[in-house]
């Protein structure tokens, strides 16, 4: 018996939705695996005394939103969105972004669990509590299906007329991406598939804000030179927004159709530019102009600017995006349109300078009121800032788990700052270790969900990963090396490609029993595993032909119970925690030795009576942060003396990552949280603290 034919539904019927329905209706006849009928959800309205759905179904034309372009007969308009999506395998969301949430709520119980969606909508979602999210994430979360995106330099009437253009599909699922490409691509409408789904979607929303700025410039009577400056500085802010909040993307993504091409097209030919110019010339408000000029369609730019403003306020980053902020303030009439030029004139782009001294040991980006440079003493990984009044600093924050110089040596000051900071949380069911990968993601494993979870570090938004494999056993920890995740299950370790999430290898040996710690030495040539239940350290060597494959070579019995977490110091020195004893042991060896000398470094049993010696982090000030579960985090100096407690932030800390300027990430297994704490500190000496 042959497989049932799959069905496509188009959710939305504005000019872009109608254009896509026209294309898919024509292309679908090339496939023998799809139903011929394309169901298009149409918001019912009266046009010259007739229902719009009747006009479309009888005359095969959307006379209101795409006049002059005929649908193929197999495109059928449905006024009921539930009927439109019934039995659909592919849902193409082409709605104004303001209507996405309510539509998803209406259809959620009627969508097939095997379906997937593609969002063409350009904007952000703002919840009632003012938190901001991507529309694809909202669709995926509410419908519980994967959601991909399609963005590009696409003015609907030109696409419908068959004028050559291109677009970008954002999908990490190769099969689904190719299927979408086959349904939509034509000789005149060319598509490229890229895996940077989130950035592709974000660019589609941000370019509308820049287009509003371009319209303000036109309305004020400035020429092409000014508009070029708007486009360039707008693109800079778009890139910076993506780097700040969605790191790990390929830098070439900005050169795709979803990036600079879409931006230029919208700034010269889109509705946002046109309405923004009229806003300046007529003095009318945005809503009035929308009703007068857009024939019932919705304007995206002003709403996107408001949504981005909420996002930036939540993150405390508004001062880094003056053009975005100015557009919002002008739309709300809190600033005059000419304030746009002030935002351009005083953009941080023009008041940064790069200063060098001959030996390159001094390096700083800074801006003083007279636009002169001032040198700041810096080190290889952290900055010691000499305070200068009225100076504005624009240092790019980087993640340095092992910085080389002491940033905050005053521990009391640091703990007070951490305790007074409001953390942000991500709900993850029983998270374990945390790592950063080559994509810029913060990565953990969920014991209960039995899968890898990837998050954006800046806001702890969970990355949609429909390809993430499900494990048969509960994963206990994860580490990362050489573009691969190493996930420890009870009796073996799974090696997974960090780019496409495919399983590459399994690593095991007969004595592997309950892995709780893993660490690489010699640039990945040696993998050490803590086999917890039988108290062994197991050593594996890297394959000469496959850098992600390892084979067992030796083992060493430890003289305590439950070896757990590692901390790497050098290829000949490291630490191991004991979960049972709440202790830390040091291991040292000469370069040629295969036997490691074990020595007790500290015993925390007196300050943490219940067994919970999870993991250890050593910061650049040589402080030892011992994760002791329900006992909290105990901080010791290099003489093994207790110097501080950190108990208010997490109920049961399993693992921590301490990054540049003490932005700290924690996993809390009992509260089911990943926690991010940003104390917003600069680096000072003891005297200044």
Enumerate the active-site residues. Answer: 207
Residue 383 sits at φ, ψ, to 5 deg, of: -115, 135
Rounded alpha-carbon distances, angstroms, from residue 44 to 16, 160, 285: 17, 22, 27
What is the per-residue DSSP string for 177-228?
Answer: HHHHHHHH--SSEEEEEES-HHHHHHHHHHHHHHHHHHHHHHHTT--HHHHH
Rounded alpha-carbon distances, angstroms, from residue 323 to 82, 358, 428, 594: 41, 36, 36, 60
Rounded to whole angstroms, the Cα distance separating 97 from 91 reads 15
Instruction: Please tell me the total number of residues recorded for the chain in this structure.
Output: 689
- C-alpha angle 487/488/491, rounded to 5°? 140
Rounded to whole angstroms, the Cα distance separating 195 from 252 reads 12
Rounded to whole angstroms, the Cα distance separating 30 from 187 reads 14
Rounded alpha-carbon distances, angstroms, from residue 395 to 508, 529, 576, 660: 44, 38, 35, 12
Rounded to whole angstroms, the Cα distance separating 42 from 56 reads 9
Q: Which residue, among 133, 188, 197, has the nearest Cα to 170 in the 3D structure?
A: 197
Contact assessment for residue 456 and residue 463, using Cβ atoms and an 8 Å cutoff: yes
Alpha-carbon torsion (184, 190, 195, 200), positive or negative: negative
Question: What would you measure as the largest C-alpha separation in the chain, in angstroms?
Answer: 90
Q: What is the token pair recorded at 317?
A: 């980053």
Q: Which residue, among 252, 232, 228, 257, has the nearest Cα to 153 in the 3D structure?
A: 257
């Amino acid at each position: 018996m042959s497989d049932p034919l799959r069905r496509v539904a188009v959710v939305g019927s504005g000019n872009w939705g109608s254009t896509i329905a026209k294309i898919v209706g024509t292309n679908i006849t090339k496939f023998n695996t799809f139903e011929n009928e394309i169901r298009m959800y149409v918001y019912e309205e009266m046009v010259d005394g007739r229902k719009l759905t009747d006009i479309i179904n009888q005359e095969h034309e959307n006379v209101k939103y795409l006049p002059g372009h005929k649908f193929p007969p197999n495109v059928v308009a449905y006024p009921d969105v539930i009927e439109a999506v019934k039995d659909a395998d592919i849902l193409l969301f082409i709605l104004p972004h303001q209507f996405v949430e309510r539509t998803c709520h209406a259809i959620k119980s009627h969508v097939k669990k095997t379906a997937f969606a593609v969002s063409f909508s350009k904007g952000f979602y703002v919840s009632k509590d003012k938190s901001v999210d991507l529309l694809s994430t909202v669709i995926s979360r509410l419908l519980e299906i994967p959601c991909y995106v399609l963005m590009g330099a696409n003015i609907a009437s030109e696409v419908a007329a068959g004028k050559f253009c291109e677009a970008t599909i954002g999908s990490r699922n190769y099969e689904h991406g190719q299927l979408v490409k086959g349904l939509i691509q034509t000789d005149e409408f060319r598509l490229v598939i890229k895996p940077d789904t989130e950035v592709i979607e974000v660019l589609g929303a941000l370019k509308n804000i820049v287009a509003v700025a371009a319209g303000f410039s036109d309305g004020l009577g400035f020429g092409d030179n000014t508009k070029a400056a708007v486009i360039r500085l707008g693109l800079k802010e778009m890139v910076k927004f993506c780097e700040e909040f969605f790191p790990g993307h390929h830098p070439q993504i900005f050169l795709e159709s979803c990036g600079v091409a879409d931006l230029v097209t919208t700034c010269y030919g889109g509705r946002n530019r046109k309405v923004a110019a009229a806003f300046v010339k007529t003095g009318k408000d945005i809503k009035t102009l929308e009703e007068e000029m857009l024939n019932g369609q919705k304007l995206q730019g002003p709403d996107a600017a408001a949504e981005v403003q909420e996002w930036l306020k939540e993150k405390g980053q508004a001062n880094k995006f003056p053009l975005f902020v100015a557009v919002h303030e002008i739309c709300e009439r809190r600033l005059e349109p000419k304030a746009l030029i002030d935002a351009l004139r005083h953009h941080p782009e023009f008041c940064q300078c790069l200063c060098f001294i001959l030996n390159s040991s001094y390096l700083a980006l800074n801006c003083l009121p007279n636009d002169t440079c001032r040198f700041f003493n810096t080190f290889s990984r952290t900055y010691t800032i000499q305070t200068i009044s009225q100076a504005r600093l624009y240092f790019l924050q980087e993640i340095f788990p092992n910085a080389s110089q002491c940033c905050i040596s005053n521990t009391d000051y640091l703990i007070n700052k951490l305790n007074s900071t409001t953390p942000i949380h991500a709900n993850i069911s029983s998270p374990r270790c945390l790592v950063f990968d080559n994509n810029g993601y913060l990565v953990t494993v969920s014991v209960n969900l039995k899968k890898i979870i990837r998050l954006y570090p800046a806001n702890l938004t969970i990355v949609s990963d429909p390809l993430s494999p499900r494990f048969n056993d509960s994963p206990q920890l994860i580490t990362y090396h050489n573009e691969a995740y190493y996930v420890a299950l009870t009796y073996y370790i799974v090696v997974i490609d960090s780019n496409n999430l495919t399983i590459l290898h399994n690593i095991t040996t007969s004595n592997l029993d309950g892995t709780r710690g893993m660490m690489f030495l010699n640039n990945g040539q040696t993998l050490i595993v803590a086999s917890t239940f039988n108290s062994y350290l197991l050593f594996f060597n890297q394959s000469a032909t496959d850098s992600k494959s390892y084979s067992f070579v030796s083992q060493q019995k430890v003289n305590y119970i439950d070896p757990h977490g590692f901390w790497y110091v050098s290829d000949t020195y490291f630490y191991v925690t004991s979960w049972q004893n709440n202790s830390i042991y040091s291991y040292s060896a000469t370069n040629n030795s295969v036997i490691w000398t074990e020595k007790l470094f500290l015993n925390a049993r007196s300050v943490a009576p219940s067994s919970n010696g999870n993991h250890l982090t050593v910061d650049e000030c040589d402080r030892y942060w011992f994760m002791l579960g329900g006992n909290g985090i105990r901080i010791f100096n290099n003489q093994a003396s207790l110097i501080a407690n950190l108990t208010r932030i997490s109920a049961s800390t399993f693992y921590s990552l301490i990054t540049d300027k003490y932005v700290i990430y924690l996993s809390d297994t009992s509260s089911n949280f990943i926690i991010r704490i940003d104390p917003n500190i600069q680096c000072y000496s003891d005297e200044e603290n």
